[in-house]
Amino acid sequence: MLQKIYDWIDDRIDITPIWRDIADHEVPEHVNPAHHFSAFVYCFGGLTFFVVVIQILSGMFLTMYYVPDIENAWKSVYYLQTEVAHGQIVRGMHHWGASVVIVMLLLHTLRVFFQGAYKKPRELNWMVGVLIFFVMLGLGFTGYLLPWDNKAYFATQVGLEIAEQVPFIGEQLKTLLAGDATIVGAQTLTRFFAIHVFFLPGALFALLAVHFILIRRQGISGPL
């Protein structure tokens, strides 16, 4: 059945050459764990992407129930955990995945750095990876407030005070994030939700696309 569907699509838009260009790509021997135990360090990037996919899918599920206003945010999270089938599991995956993805991204970055994979001709890909790191940190920071509980509220206040200390643009940055420079309130929650669900994911998708294109063109770096 699947073959018939594939053939039907391929007959109309000729996807086989595209698929072969993506899939028929030799992987260097030094990244094969069957040949070299140290090759496992090359899996950090793929594992990071796997966790990112889990975050995206679980986040899409959570937005079906989440209400981004100060009256109903916590109630919607509570309802999700107690009334929705498997809701607690999905929210737990998203909650812990937010920490796991940072750990995996750090390990991947350390592997690239200590093996010198950021050097010529991969400098641009290194810079793209650093931007991805900052985007993921931003996703973690903006997502922390969304449950709208005491810990999230006061942690966000601390985070906004840190943002305010950025030279030259600190006050403007805090106002941009909080909406109101004096208090964490309804505007802050709405802006954090918009940034977490729309702006940062859009930036992440664009950066990941560039990252994968560069990897595809330049290949996987070898050991020192």
Q: What is the pLDDT of residues 84-132, one digit of tens each?
A: 999 999 999 999 999 999 999 999 999 999 989 999 899 999 999 999 9
Q: Please give the backbone phi and psi of residue 134, each rounded to the nearest 5 degrees, phi first.
A: -65, -35
SS3 122: coil
User: Which residue range(s) make up the domain with 112?
Assistant: 41-218
Residue 189 lies in a domain: yes
Residue 90 lies in a domain: yes
Question: What would the pLDDT profile of 154-170 be if each residue is shown by its tens digit?
Answer: 999 999 999 999 999 99
What DSSP character marks residue 197? I
Residue 16 lies in a domain: no
What DSSP character marks residue 184? -
* Total domains, the chain: 1
CATH number of the domain bearing residue 100: 1.20.810.10
Alpha-carbon distance of 213 to 25, in angstroms, equals 13
Q: What is the dihedral of CA 80, 86, 92, 98, to 10 degrees?
A: -90
Residue 35 lies in a domain: no
Residue 138 lies in a domain: yes
Question: What would the pLDDT profile of 172-187 be if each residue is shown by its tens digit?
Answer: 999 999 887 678 899 9
Residue 58 lies in a domain: yes
Residue 18 lies in a domain: no
Residue 198 lies in a domain: yes
